[in-house]
Structure 1
C-alpha cells in the first residue's frame, strides 16, 4: 500500500492538499475536453516569497499553496502550438503563438492549482477568447523566440495591451541534460505538477476552476544566461530577491476542460 502521508516540507494550514490529492490530479478528468494544444520550449523561473506577500492578491476563498512554509512566484515563457477544439483541426494563423505568464500556486477545498497574475500572448484571438470565456487575465504583447542552437533559447516580449500596465521581458537560457522524474514529495513536483487553474471575474465575486490533462513534464536542467523583466513589478509586487530556480520543459500534449464555477 503506497504511503500517502504528507511529508514535513508540505505541511501547511488546515485544508491544504494532501500528497494523495496532488497525485490524483494526474488522472484525466471525465468527459470530453474543450481544447487541445501543445506546450513546448518552456522555461520555469521560480522564486520563493513569503506567502503573506501574495495572499492579498488572491480572491476570497483561494489560499496560497506553500512548500516548506514558502510561496513561489514564477515567470514562465513558452510556445503554444497545435491549438484546436476537440472537433476541429488547427486553424491557420491562430494555432501557434508565444505566451508568457506570471503565476503562483494556490488551493481551494484541498484542490491544488495555478493562479495567474497575467498571461501575455501574441495572438489577438486567443487573448479575446481567454478573457471572454475563461475569465483569464490575458494581454496582448509582441514576442519573439529564437533558437541559435538546439540548446539555446532567446525570448523577448513587450506588452501592448491598451489600458494595462506596461511590461517587458528579455531572457536567454541554455538547456542541459534531462532530469529524472521528480519525487512526489519534492519541490520540483510541487512546482511543475499542476493540472488545475483558477480564475475569477473582475470584481473577484465569482471563482472558477478549470482542469487540464497532460503527461508529467519532461524536465531538463537549464541555466539563465541573461534576464531582465518588469513583469512581476507591473503587478505592484516587489522584485524577488536572489536567482530563480530554473528548469526547461516540454513538449507536452495538453487537453483543457471548460471552466466551472466553484
Structure 2
C-alpha cells in the first residue's frame, strides 16, 4: 500500500494493526480562529487537554467533499456516493499525543451519519449540505434545523496561491497535520482513532462567508476575529478502528 510506504512525516509510527477503511477528502476549505483557551476549555472532556499554539487554542471549520469511503475488504467498492461535509473542531492532547476533537459534524448522507455516530462516537448531525464549483471557485452550504435552532454555514472559497507543504513548527503545519482523533461516548469514556495520509498540499484561500452560526450551540461568537484560511485539493486517508484509552 503506497500510503503506508510514506510515513516519515508522521509524529509517531503507523499503527501495527490493520486499517479498516480508506477515505478520499477533496476540495477542502480550512478556516481557523485563535481563541483564548478558557473560551473552549469547558467543551473538552477530561482527561483530554487543550492543545495550544503560542498560548492560543484554535477553533477550526473544515468543509470538503467526501469522495468515497472504501472498506479494506472491498478496496474498489465505495460504501456510499460522494457527499459534502463540514466539521467544527478544536485541538487536544491525551497523554502528550496531539489530535483532533470534533464539536460537530454536519452531513447529508444518512448511512455515514449513522455508522460514524455509533461506531466512532462522533457528534454527527443530519443537515442539508451541498457543494458546487465553477472554475476554481467553490460554493458550500450547510443548513441544520435542530432543537428549534437554525444552524447554517454558507461560503464561497477558492485557492489563490501555489501549492506548498507547511514546515514543521509553523502554525500552518500545527493546524493541519493531525494523525488521530479523540471522541467520547455517553458515559464519558475516551476513544482514540488513528489516521494516516500524506502531508496536506495547501494553498492560501480567498473566501466570502455569507452565513455562519455553526458555533451558536456553544455560545461562541467569532464575528470580530478574522480566520486563517487554506484550500487543499485533498488527500486519501487510511482510518483505523477506534480504541478506548480512558474509562470512566
Q: Do they superpose with TM above 0.5?
A: yes
Superposed displacement of residue 196, structure 1: 0.5
Superposed displacement of residue 70, structure 1: 0.3
Q: Are the structure 2 counterparts of residues 217 and 39 from structure 1 closer, same or farther at C-alpha, using a change threshold of 3 Å?
A: same
Q: Are the structure 2 counterparts of residues 35 and 125 from structure 1 closer, same or farther at C-alpha, using a change threshold of 3 Å?
A: same
Q: TM-score, normalised by structure 2?
A: 0.90
Determine whether 1:195 maps to 2:179.
Answer: yes
Q: Are the structure 2 counterparts of residues 24 and 187 from structure 1 closer, same or farther at C-alpha, using a change threshold of 3 Å?
A: same
- 1:189 match: secondary structure: helix
Checking the alignment, whether the CA contact within 8 Å between 2:10 and 2:179 is kept in structure 1 is: no
Query: Structure 2 CA distance, aligned partners of 1:254 and 1:24?
Result: 13
Q: 2:77 aligns with which of 90, 96, 109?
A: 90
Query: Structure 1 CA distance, aligned partners of 2:218 and 2:39?
Result: 12
Query: Structure 2 CA distance, aligned partners of 1:95 and 1:27?
Result: 31
Determine whether 1:216 maps to 2:202.
Answer: no
Superposed displacement of residue 31, structure 1: 1.9
Superimposed CA distance per residue, residues 141-184 of structure 1 (whole angstroms, 9 cap, x where no aligned partner) = 111111111x2111011114x55853111000121222421111
Answer 1 or 2: which has greater strand percent. 2
Superimposed CA distance per residue, residues 40-71 of structure 1 (whole angstroms, 9 cap, x where no aligned partner) = 11000000000111111111111110000000
Determine whether 1:58 maps to 2:41.
Answer: no
Aligned match of 2:57: 71
Query: Structure 2 CA distance, aligned partners of 1:79 and 1:105?
Result: 22
Superposed displacement of residue 240, structure 1: 5.0
Determine whether 1:152 maps to 2:131.
Answer: no
Checking the alignment, whether the CA contact within 8 Å between 1:33 and 1:256 is kept in structure 2 is: yes
Query: Structure 2 CA distance, aligned partners of 1:165 and 1:127?
Result: 20
- 1:222 match: secondary structure: strand
Q: Are the structure 2 counterparts of residues 91 and 184 from structure 1 closer, same or farther at C-alpha, using a change threshold of 3 Å?
A: closer
Count of residue pairs the alignment pairs up = 236
Flag structure 1 segments of 5+ consecutive residues without an equivalent.
1-22
Checking the alignment, whether the CA contact within 8 Å between 2:106 and 2:129 is kept in structure 1 is: no
